[in-house]
Chain A
Amino acid sequence: MKTTAFLTDSTLCIGCKACEVACKEWNDVPADGYGWSGHSYDNTMALGHATWRHVKFVESPCSGQTSNQQPTTSNPDWQFSSDVCKHCAHAGCLEGCPTGAIVRTEFGGVFVQEDVCNGCGYCVVTCPFGVIDRRPGDGRAFKCTFCYDRQKAGLKPACATACPTESILFGTLDEMQAKAAARVDTLHARGVSDAVLYDAANSSVGGIHALFVLRGDPEDFNLPANPVVPTVHLRAGWTSAAVASAGMIGGVIAALRYFGG
Chain B
Amino acid sequence: MTATYRDAPLVKPPVWTWEVPLYFFVGGAAGAAAVIAAAAHFGGAPFALLARDAKWMAAIGALISPVLLISDLGRPARFLNMLRVFKPQSPMSMGVWTLVLFSNAALAALLPIGIAADVAVAVAGVSGAILATYTGVLIGATAIPVWARHVDILPILFGASGLAAAVSILELLGHRTNAMNALGMAAAAVELLIIFALARRGSSSGPLMRGAEVLSGPAALLLRLAAISMPQLRVVAAVVTLAGSLLTRVAWIEAGKRRS
Residues of A within 8 A of B (CB): 39, 42, 45-46, 48, 56, 58, 66-68, 92, 95-101, 116-122, 124-135, 138-141, 217, 219-222, 224-225, 228, 230-231, 233-234, 236-241, 243-249, 251-253, 255-261
Question: In the complex, A219→B9 CA distance in Å?
Answer: 11
- Complex: how many Å from CA A257 to CA B47? 10
**Residues of chain B lying within 8 A (CB to CB) of residue A42:** 6
- Do A126 and B142 touch across chains, with their CB atoms under 8 A apart? yes
Known contacts A45-B8, A139-B74, A240-B154: does B92 contact A120 (CB below 8 Å)? yes
A234 to chain B, nearest CB (A): 5
Give Cα distance in the complex from A244 to B10, angstroms: 32
Cα–Cα, bound, A141→B183 (Å)? 42
Given A42-B6, A118-B73, A249-B129, A127 contacting B143 (CB threshold 8 A): yes
CB-CB under 8 A from A48, the residues of chain B are: 12
Determine which of B12, B89, B155, B179 lies in contact with A130 in the assembled complex, contact meaning CB atoms within 8 Å. Answer: B12
Q: Is the CB of B92 within 8 A of A98?
A: yes
Partner of B91, one of A101, A119, A234: A234
**C-alpha gap A220/B177 in the complex (Å):** 59
Complex interface: chain A residues within 8 A of B200 (CB): none
CB contacts (< 8 Å) of A45 on chain B: these are: 6, 8
Q: B204 → chain A, closest Cβ, in Å? A: 21
Can you name 25 A-B pairs with beta carbons within 8 Å? A58-B5, A68-B3, A95-B90, A96-B92, A98-B85, A99-B78, A99-B85, A118-B79, A122-B92, A141-B74, A237-B141, A237-B152, A238-B155, A240-B153, A240-B154, A241-B137, A241-B155, A241-B159, A245-B159, A248-B129, A248-B162, A248-B163, A252-B36, A253-B39, A261-B47
Cβ of B112 to closest chain A Cβ, rounded Å: 23
> CA separation between A67 and B32, bound complex, in Å?
51
Report A169 CB to chain B, min CB distance, Å: 22
- Chain B residues contacting A256 (CB-CB under 8 Å) are 36, 39-40, 43, 47, 179
Having A98-B90, A118-B81, A247-B159, one finds 8 other A-B pairs with CB under 8 Å, namely A100-B85, A101-B81, A116-B81, A124-B14, A127-B12, A234-B141, A248-B163, A256-B179
- How does the 8 Å CB contact mask read for B75-89 relative to A, with 1 for contact and 0 for none? 110110110110101
| A237 contact set on B, CB distance < 8 A | 91, 136-137, 140-141, 151-152, 154-155
Give the CA-CA distance A261 to B36 in the complex, in Å: 12
Residues of chain A within 8 A of B82, CB atoms compared: 98-99, 118, 120
Say yes or no for B133: interface residue by CB 8 A criterion: yes
In the docked arrangement, what's the CA distance between A253 and B179, Å? 10
For window 1-18 of B, CB contacts with A under 8 Å fall at 2-6, 8-12, 14-16
Judge whether B90 and A140 touch: CB under 8 Å.
no
Contact B141 A233 (CB under 8 A): yes
Most chain A CB neighbours (cut-off 10 Å) among B4, B140, B143, B154: B143
Find out whether the CB atom of B177 lies under 8 angstroms from the CB atom of A127: no
Known: A99-B81, A244-B159. A231 touches B89 (CB 8 A): yes
Q: How far is the CA of A193 from the CA of B88 in the complex (A)?
A: 45
- Give bound CA distance, A118 to B73, whole Å: 6
Q: Complex formed: what's the CA distance from A229 to B92 in Å?
A: 16
Given A98-B82, A241-B136, check contact A138 B129 (CB 8 Å).
no
A128: which of B140, B143, B163 is its contact (CB, 8 Å)?
Answer: B143
Question: A222-B8, A259-B177 known; A248 and B79 CB under 8 Å?
Answer: no
* Known contacts A222-B4, A261-B46; A121/B14 CB under 8 A: yes
